[in-house]
Structure 1
Amino acid sequence: MYAVIQTGGKQHRVVEGETLKVELLKAEVGASITFDDVLMLVNGESIQIGAPVVAGATVTAEVVSHGRHDKIRIIKMRRRKHYRKQQGHRQWFTELKITAIAG
C-alpha cells in the first residue's frame, strides 16, 4: 500500500515505515502530523485517484528531526565584463517517518 501526498508545494510517494525529507514544518520533534492532502491511494489492485484529493484518506507521520541540506552554490558571471557574483544556500528540512496510511 502506498499513497501520494502533497506538502510544501511538492508531491511525495510514501510507503508505511519510510523516512523522507520534506520542506520545513512547524512541529516539535516526536510530534505526530496528519496529512489530509492525499492525491492518490493504491492498495494492491485498488487505485483511488482524488479530484483533487481522496476523500477520507489520511497519512500519519512522526517528526524525526529538523535540519539543513548541503550547501549549493549559485554563481552568476558575465564573460569579459568583469562581473562575477557568488552566493550559497542551505534549505531547511523536516525528516518524517510514515507511521500509517488510512484510506
Structure 2
Amino acid sequence: MGVASVPLETRTLPGRGLVARGLVGASPVFLGSPRLMREQGLAFGDRLRHASQQFEDDGRSLVCIGWQGQVRGIFGFDEKLRPEVREMIDGCRRLALKVSVLSG
C-alpha cells in the first residue's frame, strides 16, 4: 500500500481535528484530539497510551494521528506565553488596538 503526499479530500471536524482521504489507500486518516480518536474507534497501543498520559500530566496539548483502527503517532505541544507578551499586549491596548486570542 502506497502513501500519497497530498490528500484527495480533507474535512474539518470543528473542535476535534480533521479527516483526510486518499493518503493511505482508501482508509481515512484522522488528525486531532484523543477524543476524535476514541470517537472513530482508533485504539491506542500501550506505548502511545503511556506517552499520551505523560504529555497530559506535563500539561501539554495533545494531537494524535491514526488510521485503520490504530493511533499511529502523538504530538505534545507546550502552550506557554513568552514573557514579553504581557508588555506587547499592553502596548497594543495603549494604541487603542483590540487584542484577541486565536486558538484551535
**What TM-score results when the alignment is normalised by the length of structure 2?**
0.28
Question: Which of the pair is proportionally richer in strand?
Answer: 1
Structure with higher RCO (Cα < 8 A, 6+ apart) = 1
**What TM-score results when the alignment is normalised by the length of structure 1?**
0.28
